Structure formats: structure tokens, C-alpha cells
């Protein structure tokens, strides 16, 4: 089995340019998912075996046997858990309800309801049934606002074809707003020309707007809720080198009013730490991007993802002074076609005044 798997990996990644040109992700997802399913338990077993050899050198055969048996049981459980995440976990919709108490929130905006969705990656879906279910769930909360924080597709606008009605069906009393994520620019694909890439990008923007979302590209939108001014600020993706940093927060906030209540949408939560806190007066920011690594541990109310070692703000609510950040764990999958203890998330945020 290991030989077959290594052969698949060698074949799949021997020519990485072909992967970047692919618009069908089935083989790519298959390779990543099977590798994760088989190699992760084997890595644990191999590490345990090496430790057991050390224990035997010190005549601790009893502890060596306990270690090997324990690792075997844990590896089996891990394989079952990964298999479940690939088969069912990515289809199990999770609704997280979060109240956020804000010092600067006017009383008239108390109990304003925002539904946040993020990182849909439509290239990983075979049909529209899951997105239709998500739309029905979103509408059941009768939100004031729906905010989408980027990564509609993996690379290509064609991935959105067949899903337009589901996004158009999402309803909010005061509007739907969207920004772009790192995958929405097509930077992860090889293009025959800059013009081809630009057409792909512009077509995707048009499709998002045709679905009823106002796309904010380093700009803001002013709305009135209960006679209070609310400004939704949206920046383009704040990328990590070597990818471009399209975000321009100064430009996005150029026309905002000092007295208005502001909500910032920025795809990458690292942008909040680097450009927002202590440098702006924006009380609430919303991000996605991390997917919470699509894997983690949830036990006794404690949640942890290995994404923490890469991205400090990987999922949930964070606070710095009087400024808040919520990081949505995403709906779709990229790379690993599965979610292990980190189900697809719809976030229902209720703003509360103190």
C-alpha cells in the first residue's frame, strides 16, 4: 500500500506546473486526502516504534510494549477520525452563535445580527445541495447583514457556475457585502496571458455582484440601521510574499466618517494584527482564510487547531483593547477534501451595546 501511495504522490507532484493548470481538482484532492489518511497514522506509529527501541535499550520492555499498543490503538482511532472527516465531516454544517459586546456600539444598533460566511472554495463541490442547505440555514436567522470574507473559488470563475441561484437566495435586511480572498485572484494558476487572468478575475467579480453582493475592493459602503450610520469597509487580500498585497486600508477608509460605527472585512486575519489594532479606530473586523487547518481537537469545551503554529488568530473571537476580530473557519475545503473536528461554519454574530 505504501509503495502504491508513494507512486501516486510521485506521479501527482512530479510536474507541479500541471497541477497549477488543472481546473478539475479530483486527482489533486484524492492524492492529498489519501496521503493524509494513511501517512498521518503511520508517522505516529513510526515515531512510537523509534521511542520503543530506545526504551528496550534501557531494558524497559514492559513500557515499550505499552507504548506500541497504545500508539496502535491511537493510530487506528486517528485513521477512523480522518476517514470520517473526509466522508462526512465536510458535509456537517456547524452554526456558531456569538454575542459581541462593544463599547462603541450605539444603543440603536443593539442586537444587530450579522451572518458571516467565508472560504467557500466551490471547486470542491460536485453539486449545489450543500450550498442550498447553507443558504436555507442563513435565511432562517433573518440577518440584518450577510458578510462574505473571501475565497469564493479555488482559481476559476467557472467554479461558480451552477451555484448562482443559491447565493442569490441568501437574504439580509440591510444588504449583502463581499470581499475577495487570496484564491479569487487566480494567483495559484498558470495563465497563457495576463489578459486571460484578468478576464477570469473580472468575470468572477461580476458573478459575485450578480448574486446580490456588493463587492468592496479597498472601499467602504455606508448604510443606515435604525437611524444610525454603519460603514462596511472591505479591503482586498493582504497576501503573504511572494504573493501580492492588494489591500489598501487607507484607501478603503478614505471616505468614512469618524462618528460612524465601522465593520472591517479583511480576508487574512494577520492583516488585523499588522494594520488594524492600535492603528485604526475600527471596533470590529471579520476574517477567514485559515480554515482552522480543516483539522483539530475539540474536547470538554476546549478547541485547538494546528493552524495556531502558523497563524495566531486561527478561529473564533479575539480581543485587543476595545477592538475585536472574528475569524470564520470557512465552509469549503482546499487541499484536503475533508474536515476533521472543524466542521464547515456559518457564524451568527449578534452585536450588543454595553
Query: How does pLDDT run across 185-243, given as a tens digit for each residue?
Result: 999 888 999 999 999 999 999 999 999 999 999 999 999 999 999 999 999 999 877 77
Chain Cα centroid distance, residue 308: 14
pLDDT for 72 equals 87
**177: Cβ–Cβ under 8 A, 6 or more apart, which residues?**
145, 146, 147, 148, 213, 214, 215, 216, 221, 232, 234, 265
What is the model's pLDDT at position 11? 63
The answer to whether residues 301 and 271 touch, using CB atoms and an 8 Å cutoff, is no
Among all chains, which residue has been given the C-alpha cell 476580530? 325
Query: In angstroms, rounded to a whole number, what is the distance separating the alpha carbons of residues 321 and 288?
Result: 21
Neighbours of 185 (CB within 10 A): 20
**In terms of Cα–Cα distance, which of 277, 274, 327, 270 is closest to 100?**
327
CA 204-207-212 angle, to 5 degrees, is: 135
Mean pLDDT of 126-152: 97
Asked if 269 and 284 count as a contact pair (C-beta separation under 8 A), the reply is no
Percent pLDDT > 70 in the chain is: 93
Contacts of 187 (CB under 8 A, 6+ apart): 239, 243, 244
CATH superfamily of 93-353: Metallo-dependent phosphatases (3.60.21.10)
pLDDT tens, position by position, 289-311 = 999 999 998 888 889 999 999 99
- Give the sign of the dihedral formed by CA 204, CA 271, CA 322, CA 290: positive
Cell 472554495 sits at which residue?
Answer: 121
Q: Is the pLDDT of residue 175 over 70?
A: yes
**R_g of the chain computed on alpha carbons:** 22
In the chain, where are the structural domains located?
Answer: 2-87, 93-353
pLDDT of residue 14: 64
Q: Please, where are the H alpha helices in the chain?
A: 2-13, 16-21, 26-57, 61-87, 129-139, 164-168, 194-210, 249-252, 270-271
Give the mean pLDDT of 54-66. Answer: 79
Mean pLDDT of the chain: 91
Amino acid at each position: 500500500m505504501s509503495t502504491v501511495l508513494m507512486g501516486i504522490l510521485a506521479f501527482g507532484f512530479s510536474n507541479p506546473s500541471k497541477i497549477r493548470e488543472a481546473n478539475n481538482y479530483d486527482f489533486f484532492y484524492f492524492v492529498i486526502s489519501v496521503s493524509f489518511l494513511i501517512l498521518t497514522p503511520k508517522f505516529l506509529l513510526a515515531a512510537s516504534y523509534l521511542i520503543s527501541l530506545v526504551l528496550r535499550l534501557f531494558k524497559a520492555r514492559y513500557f515499550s510494549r505499552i507504548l506500541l499498543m497504545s500508539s496502535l490503538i491511537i493510530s487506528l482511532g486517528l485513521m477512523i477520525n480522518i476517514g470520517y472527516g473526509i466522508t462526512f465531516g465536510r458535509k456537517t454544517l456547524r452554526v456558531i452563535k456569538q454575542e459581541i459586546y462593544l463599547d462603541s456600539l450605539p444603543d440603536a444598533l443593539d442586537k444587530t445580527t450579522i451572518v458571516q460566511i467565508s472560504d467557500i472554495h466551490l471547486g470542491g463541490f460536485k453539486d449545489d445541495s450543500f450550498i442550498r442547505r447553507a443558504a436555507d440555514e442563513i435565511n432562517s436567522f433573518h440577518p440584518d447583514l450577510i458578510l462574505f470574507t473571501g475565497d469564493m473559488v479555488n482559481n476559476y470563475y467557472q467554479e461558480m457556475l451552477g451555484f448562482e441561484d443559491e447565493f442569490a437566495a441568501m437574504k439580509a435586511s440591510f444588504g449583502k457585502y463581499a470581499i475577495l480572498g487570496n484564491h479569487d485572484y487566480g494567483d495559484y494558476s498558470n495563465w497563457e496571458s495576463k489578459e486571460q487572468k484578468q478576464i477570469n478575475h473580472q468575470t468572477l467579480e461580476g458573478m459575485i455582484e450578480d448574486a446580490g453582493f456588493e463587492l468592496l475592493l479597498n472601499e467602504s459602503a455606508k448604510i443606515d440601521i435604525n437611524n444610525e450610520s454603519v460603514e462596511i469597509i472591505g479591503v482586498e487580500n493582504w497576501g503573504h510574499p511572494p504573493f501580492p498585497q492588494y489591500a489598501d486600508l487607507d484607501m478603503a477608509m478614505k471616505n468614512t466618517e469618524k462618528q460612524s460605527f465601522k465593520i472591517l472585512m479583511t480576508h487574512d486575519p494577520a492583516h488585523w494584527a499588522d494594520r488594524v489594532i492600535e492603528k485604526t479606530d475600527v471596533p470590529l473586523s471579520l476574517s477567514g482564510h485559515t480554515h482552522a487547518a480543516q483539522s483539530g481537537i475539540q474536547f470538554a469545551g476546549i478547541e485547538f487547531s494546528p493552524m495556531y503554529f502558523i497563524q495566531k488568530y486561527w478561529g473564533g473571537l479575539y480581543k485587543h483593547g476595545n477592538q475585536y476580530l472574528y475569524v470564520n473557519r470557512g465552509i469549503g475545503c482546499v487541499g484536503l477534501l475533508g474536515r476533521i473536528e472543524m466542521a464547515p461554519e456559518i457564524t451568527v454574530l449578534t452585536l450588543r451595546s454595553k
